Chains A and B, each alone.
Chain A
Amino acid sequence: MRLRFPWTTNCGLFFTRYEEDQAFLPSRAAKIKVLCLFALLLALPWLVGPYPLRIASQVAIMALGAVGLNLLTGFAGQISVGHAAFMGVGAYAVGALTTKLGLSFWLALPLGGLAAALVGAFFGLPSLRLKGLYLAIATLAAQVILDFAFVRLEPITGGAAGLVLTPPSLGPLSLADDTVFYYVTLALTMAGVIFALNLSRSRVGRAFMAIRDRDLAAAMLGVDLFGYKLRAFFLSSFYAGLAGGMLAAYTRVVTPEQFTLDVSIQFLAMIVIGGLGDVLGSVYGAAFVSLLPIALSYLAQALQGVLPQMVNLLSACQTALFGLVIILFLIFEPQGLAKLWRHIKDYFRLWPFSY
Chain B
Amino acid sequence: MQQELLVVENLSLHFGGVAALTNIDLTVRKGEILAIIGPNGAGKTSFLNCISGLYRPSGGRIFFEGRDITRLSPHRRAALGIARTFQNIELFKHMTVLDNIMLGRHVHLRSGILAGGIYWGLAQKEEVRHRRRVEEIIDFLEIEFIRNRVVGSLSYGLQKRVELARALALEPKLLLLDEPMAGMNVEEKEDMARFILDIAEEWGVTLVLIEHDMGVVMDLSDRVAVFDFGRKIAEGLPEEIKQNPRVVEAYLGGQLAEEA
Contact = CB atoms under 8 A, between A and B. Distances in A.
B42 to A, nearest CB: 22
Contact of A210 (B84, B103, B109, B128): B103
A216 B102 contact: no
Given A204-B112, A216-B54, A198 B136 contact: no
Contact of B95 (A6, A209, A221): A209
A257 interface: no
A220 B92 contact: no
A206 B102 contact: yes
Interface in B181-222: 198, 202-203
B111 A204 contact: yes
Interface string A8-32: 0111001100110110000000000
A198 B117 contact: yes
Interface stretch (A119-127, A223-231, A266-274, A318-326): A223-231
Interface in B86-119: 86, 90-95, 99, 102-104, 106-107, 109-113, 115-119
B132 A3 contact: no
Given A6-B203, A219-B75, A231 B113 contact: yes
Interface in A188-223: 195-196, 198-199, 201-207, 209-210, 213-214, 216-223
B107 A222 contact: yes
A111 B118 CA distance: 20
B118 A195 contact: yes
Contact of B139 (A3, A15, A209): A3
Contacts of B74: 216, 219-220
Interface string B136-164: 10011000000000000000000000000
User: What secondary structure prevails in chain B residues at the interface with A?
Assistant: helix
B124 interface: yes
Interface in B43-68: 52-54
A206 B117 contact: no
Contacts of B117: 195-196, 198-199
A313 interface: no
A3 B118 CA distance: 35
B133 A225 contact: no
Given A22-B124, A202-B116, A207 B202 contact: no
5 contacts: A9-B136, A19-B124, A21-B131, A218-B92, A218-B103
Interface of B: 52-54, 73-75, 78-79, 83-84, 86, 90-95, 99, 102-104, 106-107, 109-113, 115-120, 123-124, 126-128, 131-133, 135-136, 139-140, 166, 170-171, 198, 202-203
Given A18-B132, A199-B119, A220-B74, 18 more contacts: A3-B202, A6-B171, A7-B133, A10-B132, A11-B132, A18-B128, A202-B123, A202-B126, A202-B127, A203-B109, A203-B126, A205-B116, A213-B94, A214-B92, A219-B78, A221-B78, A222-B75, A222-B170
